Chain A
């Protein structure tokens, strides 16, 4: 078993690494937005801004200062949450992000759950029926869904399940006729359940089904592929053979030694999926009218709202970094083969 001391050491090491990556992320975003770009103030003010506006923006974001001073302010502002005001809505960008973030988290978590369930199940079936018709059928399914662009999946889902067979709502997060529940966790579906507000809960679930499933179905291919290849690795390995030779029933051997291996790999790849899904939310949320960071990003693009885009990319990236950290920790708990303290060689 894992010793607590080793585990804490590993956790600390990983946490330091994560913070270092966060710093790196902020510095790279700074380089793109402040250094790569010859005249940041003009871009931040927009194409048709007056000279006075450009000047005031230059002062507000310290854009006239030397580069290192700018970097200093940028890092301080980013980590204290002082991200400036959104020129379109007039509210502070950090409050906008905090307002929209829970909705995106809800959507992504729901679709992550769906992804892992479908992905692992299909990958396991596919690996256990290697080189048969079932295997190639599943391969066609995951390649086809992986190849589907988000906008095609979303539009097709709306046309089928909201227009042709109107069983699900085509957009929004809950029915406008209902009052939203008290905020507890910020996630609509969980809040409504905790408040025992069942009409809200059902409405929330109904609105969640289409966007979450589309996001999940278009991305589960990676999980399937990884699970399948780890099932194939395990299937003919000596430890499974010896388990079966010892007289362990087939079903139990498959569950314990093959499926569990697949689950470990699926967890790691889920962190990668998280980044893809966050990217996908920009399109999915826009098409489904889901009030999350994705829609916020889309509107920022539409309005040439550059000051809002910069914190958004940092926010999204920090989400991925934290997800990677979480996946590392979960992986180290799940996989007994991992030797803590020497995690560096894993990459």
Chain B
């Protein structure tokens, strides 16, 4: 009994090691994606630390006003300066990180989940069901993201969950298309026919035959997508919709300061540059992985090992 447990855990750790080494090859495949990976890890750790320590890592409390020290320039005491109410901008940026990384992750993960469920159903069942799901997808793809999210958020009222849901509302269709494309490509494989001939259930085929081949591609697309989602979240914040007004959020910080932008440009520019860095980090991270695993470009990339199955997000563009 004990032996078998240690055996399986031994196997698991070998598999984990293998995954980690593959991930390292992909994530650090060149200096650009290394930069991306490091940026993502640094900001992710800061966000987690801030959340776990409940703000103890920030030099000041993010909503602490000090009206004697407003609009201060960046200095040793206030790294990013202070805003019109004397709040420390660096602390506010730190406080915004859990929101600005958490919400995009939530949006992307939920969209990926919807995409996997609907996309597998559409691709596997086909016929009328597929037609219906894909036409609804087309419909939702027509909505301009931010404008539609604005209306949904205005309807639901301001809260973090509503902001996330309002963007998810328009965020899921590309995932359905991606997954459905993958399922259609896999459907014609011999092992699928064999599995069906053995009378395997839909869920078994999905678990063993479809998901392991689709999830890597979805993850590549999702890792690229987190940055884009952050752009939209912070745009909603900038427009003052969805995100509660007292919540430190990078986009709404820029907006609250934009009256002073000519006199105290750093107050708007520094939080905005943090958005730029995080989005760039996720883009480089995701793009590095995509490039290293891209089947189309691969033959010319001097024999790097093929990582993923038959499809990449590119196939669907």
Please report A residues at the B interface, Cβ cutoff 8 Å: 21, 24-25, 28-29, 32-33, 36-37, 43, 130-131, 136, 139-140, 143-144, 146-152, 155-156, 158-159, 163, 226, 229, 232-233, 236, 269, 275-276, 278-280, 282-283, 287, 297-298, 301-302, 306, 309-310, 312-313, 316-317, 320-321, 324, 347
CA distance A147 to B231 in the complex (A): 8
A36:B155 contact, CB within 8 angstroms? yes
Would you call B154 an interface residue if the criterion is a C-beta within 8 Å of the partner chain's C-beta atoms?
Answer: yes
On chain A, the residues within 8 Å of B314 by CB distance are 229
Contact A152 B138 (CB under 8 A): no
Q: Please, how many angstroms separate the alpha-carbon atoms of A4 and B241 in the complex?
A: 49
For B181, the closest partner residue in chain A by CB is: A347
A249 CB to nearest B CB, Å: 24
Known: A25-B139, A236-B300. A152 touches B150 (CB 8 A): no
Could you mark each residue 160-183 of chain B with 1 if its beta carbon is under 8 Å from any beta carbon of chain A, else 0?
Answer: 000000000000000001000000
Find chain A residues with CB under 8 A from B297 CB.
229, 232
Say yes or no: B280 contacts A155, CB within 8 Å. Answer: no
Q: Are A139 and B152 within 8 A (Cβ)? A: no
Contact B144 A320 (CB under 8 A): yes
Contact B155 A155 (CB under 8 A): no
Q: Which residues of A contact B154 (CB under 8 A)?
A: 43, 301, 306, 309
Bound complex: CA A306 to CA B241 (Å) = 12
Are the C-beta atoms of B139 and A21 separated by less than 8 Å?
yes
Asked if A301 and B241 make an inter-chain contact with CB atoms under 8 angstroms apart, the answer reads yes
Q: In whole angstroms, how far apart are the Cα atoms of A279 and B241 in the complex?
A: 14
Bound complex: CA A155 to CA B263 (Å): 12
Also in contact, A139 and B146, with CB within 8 A (given A28-B139, A151-B255, A283-B235): no
- A159, B147: Cβ atoms under 8 Å? no
- How far, in angstroms, from A32 to B170 measured CA to CA in the complex? 12
Chain B: minimal CB distance from A235 (Å):
9
For B121, the chain A residues whose CB sits under 8 A away are none
Distance between Cα atoms of A100 and B21 in the complex (Å): 56
Nearest CB on A from B138, distance (A): 6
Question: B147: which of A32, A163, A232, A297 is its contact (CB, 8 Å)?
Answer: A297
- B276 in contact with A278 (CB, 8 Å): no
Cα–Cα distance between A149 and B228 once the two chains are bound (Å): 10
CA distance in complex: A317, B255 (Å): 26
Do residues A139 and B32 form an inter-chain contact, with CB atoms below 8 A?
yes
B301 CB-CB contact with A under 8 Å:
yes
Q: Is the CB of B276 within 8 A of A149?
A: yes
Residue numbers in B under 8 Å from A152 (CB-CB): 254, 269, 272-273, 275-276
B79 within 8 A of A: no
- What separation, in Å, do the CA atoms of A9 and B283 have in the docked complex? 42
A147 touches B151 (CB 8 A): no
Q: Is the CB of B234 within 8 A of A149?
A: yes
Known contacts A24-B139, A283-B239; A278/B144 CB under 8 A: yes
Q: A312-B147, A316-B147 are in contact. Are A156 and B142 (CB under 8 A)?
A: no
Kindly state the separation between the CA atoms of A143 and B284 in the bound complex, as whole angstroms: 7
A-B contact pairs, 11 of them (CB 8 A): A21-B139, A32-B155, A143-B280, A149-B234, A149-B279, A151-B235, A152-B269, A229-B317, A276-B144, A279-B145, A317-B142
Additional A-B contact list (11), CB under 8 Å, known A21-B142, A25-B139 = A37-B155, A136-B30, A139-B32, A143-B287, A148-B279, A149-B238, A155-B258, A159-B269, A275-B144, A297-B147, A313-B147
Residues of B within 8 A of A130 (CB): 300
* Distance, CA A73 to CA B154, complexed state (A): 22
What is the distance, in angstroms, from B313's C-beta to the closest C-beta of chain A? 11
Taken residue by residue from 286 to 299, chain B's Cβ proximity to chain A (1 for < 8 Å, 0 otherwise) reads as 01000000001100
Q: Is B262 an interface residue (CB 8 A)?
A: yes
A contact residues around B283 at 8 Å (CB) = 143, 146-147
Beyond A32-B155, A151-B238, A232-B297, whether A144 also contacts B280 by CB under 8 A is: yes
Q: Is B261 interfacial (CB 8 A cutoff)?
A: yes
Identity of the chain B residue whose Cβ is nearest the Cβ of A320 in the assembled complex: B142
Q: How far is the CA of A232 from the CA of B299 in the complex (A)?
A: 11
A131 touches B265 (CB 8 A): no
A302 with B240, Cβ < 8 A, contacts A149-B251, A163-B262, A317-B144 known: yes
Q: Closest residue to A43 on the B side, CB-wise?
A: B155
Query: How distant is the Cα of A177 from the Cα of B57 in the complex, in angstroms?
Result: 54
Minimum CB–CB distance from A325 to chain B (whole Å) comes to 10
Complex interface: chain A residues within 8 A of B148 (CB): 313, 317
Q: Which residue of B lies closest to A218 (CB)?
A: B231
Minimum Cβ distance to chain A for residue B293 (Å): 14
Considering the complex, give the chain B residue whose CB is closest to the CB of A27.
B139
Task: Indicate if the CB atoms of B275 and A149 lie closer than 8 Å.
Answer: yes
Q: A25-B139, A287-B258, A309-B151 are in contact. Are A316 and B275 (CB under 8 A)?
A: no
Using CB atoms, name the residue of chain A closest to B36: A143
B134 within 8 A of A: yes
Q: Are A283 and B32 in contact (CB under 8 A)?
A: no
B96 beta carbon closer than 8 Å to chain A = no
The answer for the CA separation of A211 and B279 in the assembled complex, in Å, is 22
Q: Which of A37, A144, A283, A347 has the most CB of B within 10 A?
A: A347
Report the separation of the CA atoms of residues A229 and B164 in the bound assembly, to the nearest whole angstrom. Answer: 32
In Å, the complex CA distance between A275 and B149 comes to 13
In the bound complex, residues from chain B placing their C-beta under 8 Å from that of A276 are 144-145
Most chain A CB within 10 A, of B142, B251, B276, B280, is at: B142
